[in-house]
Copies of this chain bind each other. A is one copy, B any other.
Amino acid sequence: MLYSLDSLNCGDMDKATLHPSGRDPQEWQALLEQFLSHGSEEGLLELETNITSDPVTYCCHGLNKPVKELAELEANFSSVIIPELPVNSSAYARHLSEDILNQVVPVSSPTFVGHMTSALPQHLPAMGKILTALNQNVVKLETSHILTALERQVLGMMHKLVYNCDETFYNQWLHNGDYALATFCSGGTLANLTAMWACRNQLLPADGDFAGLAREGLARGLIHYGYSGLAILVSELGHYSLKKTVDVLGLGQDSLIKIETDRNGRICTSALLAKLQELRQRNIRPMAIVGIAGTTETGSIDPLNALADIAEQEQCHFHIDAAWGGASLLSERHRHLFAGIERADSVTIDAHKQMYVPMGTGMVLFRQPSLASAISQHANYIVRKGSKDLGRHTLEGSRCAMSLMLHSNFHLLGRRGFAQLIDASIEKAQQFAVLIRQQEDFELISEPELCLLTYRYVPPKVLQALHVASEPDRQKLYDELNALNQHIQTMQWSAGQSFVSRTTLQPTQWDRQPTTVLRVVLANPLTTMEILEEMLKEQRQLAQKSPHWHTLQALAH
């Protein structure tokens, strides 16, 4: 058995420094040593050194062998009893190394191109260790002090990157504790939620005998202002966190209105205008228009200036979800794709995506620093009125100082270093698109606007057949093709050597039929064209071994 609490516990029971009976001074001393001494973690330090001296290689050492079935792993992680006695740290380090870490997903591997994460700059593990050791809590000054000033600076840098306001603006607002230019949060989901929370509260403020939505709630707010409902409008490629957002905020998922996209995955503004008209007739107030700058599924960027115009005209909040794409603002060459972003009332950016920091570094930026007032909080012992505690403006309470991770990347890569990484990623995606087009048995489904594209495997005979077959044969073919691509993706993951993700799109070139596609994100600077060529070869081989391939051949005959 891979994981056995029994073996861990009983084997080490003799070495245990604690006894079942009450605490005596000697025991206590032993526990404190266990708790604090440097020597006791030798095994772990060795493991740490192995992993972090070359995370790409370490995390890839599970490569070239098939991924273990989850069911098998689950069986090994099925005891719910907390180990009664401590085990020594070398034994634990061995357990970690042999039974756990050799089965983690090599997300840093240059052959794992299905994620929005990448290999990270080499200095970050050290930063992770430092942050853990310092364990600051940025919710309040008393547990973060200097890092409060540093966080506000880093957020100011992000604000400048997006909104590029002048010096007077930042002099006035950067360190003004009653306002916030932006807030950190654990990720894009909370960033979108925070933006929409502020927007909702601001839309139905105190007025006459109504104390405001934050106080009296949504139902009374709607009655007071005479609306039948509120709505958030976004393209059909909007991130699923928005559905969560409208649910959490009490608006209900039906109030998230999805607008169709064009061939390039961009929101159709005419469809948006028509929907706004319809909402007006139903007495539903559009609360926010959400533009996407880099959709999760296709990497497309909505026409931001056009959306800003519409939002202005509707007097409606304009939010941009640039969780993944926003980092590309750091590139002079590609910044123009985001024209109009500076007109957004709020913007979501995840630094743990294309800004190369670890998980947990989401941000929401506010054009007007006063927007944060709609969600500000206080209590007797923390985030008191007038204080500079960062927790006054965040959804979360206690938080670690992830701003330091971004601070280190800003300094160790520099704006130009980022730009080079981003430019290279986009260039690579364009080259990969060319490569896919050159293959007779692969079809590019969405073009890379940033460094993300989708494609699928289609044997040429099947492609021909799809164009000539009549219903219901055509449908059968299409379904089987979807099944084949799903199978390729799963088999490739299980083989463990490389990874692309998959999703279902409704491409206009295929009459918006649900289409299973392979999805590739090329942000890892270690991914080469040779790797991508090999990956296509592997997919072709997997396809030809799949039972769906034979069914397709027969159907296309």
Contact = CB atoms under 8 A, between A and B. Distances in A.
A153 interface: yes
* Most B Cβ at <10 Å: residue of A217, A378, A526: A217
A220 B229 CA distance: 9
Interface in A438-461: none
Given A126-B129, A215-B254, A395-B189, A87 B412 contact: yes
Given A28-B424, A132-B129, A416 B503 contact: no
A159 interface: yes
Interface in A1-21: 8, 16, 18, 20
Interface in A384-414: 388, 395-400, 404, 408, 410-414
Interface stretch (A140-148, A302-310, A363-371, A462-470): A140-148
Interface in A151-198: 152-153, 156-157, 159-161, 170-171, 174-175, 186-190, 193, 197
A527 B350 CA distance: 39
Contact of A149 (B74, B96, B399): B74
Given A360-B399, A399-B360, A218 B86 contact: no
A161 B397 contact: no
Interface of A is mostly: helix
- Copies assembled: 2
A250 interface: yes
Nearest to A352: B398
Interface residues of A, number: 180
A414 B403 CA distance: 33
Contacts of A420: 18, 23, 27-28, 31
A503 B381 contact: yes
A415 interface: yes
A59 interface: yes
A73 interface: yes
B128 A133 contact: yes
A380 B120 CA distance: 27
Given A27-B420, A70-B388, A81-B160, A411 B215 contact: no
A250 B253 contact: no
A135 interface: yes
A513 interface: no
B86 A414 contact: yes
Contacts of A408: 92, 96
Contact of A410 (B23, B83, B130): B83
Contacts of A499: 142
Contact of A135 (B122, B218, B358): B358
A430 to B, nearest CB: 14
A502 interface: yes
A375 B415 CA distance: 40
B359 A105 contact: no
A297 B115 contact: no
Contact of A400 (B51, B143, B358): B358
A555 interface: no
* Most B Cβ at <10 Å: residue of A70, A120, A399: A70
Interface string A26-58: 011001101111101100110110011111101
A554 interface: no
A131 interface: yes
Contacts of A243: 377
A495 interface: no
Contacts of A526: 32, 36
Contact of A128 (B132, B395, B410, B503): B132
Given A119-B36, A219-B229, A149 B31 contact: no
Contacts of A381: 296-297, 501-504, 519
A147 B104 contact: yes
A67 to B, nearest CB: 7
Given A23-B424, A120-B133, 8 more contacts: A31-B421, A34-B417, A81-B160, A87-B412, A92-B411, A117-B135, A132-B358, A244-B395
17 contacts: A31-B421, A35-B119, A37-B122, A41-B126, A48-B130, A52-B132, A80-B174, A82-B415, A89-B123, A120-B135, A186-B186, A186-B398, A187-B399, A214-B247, A217-B246, A248-B249, A381-B502
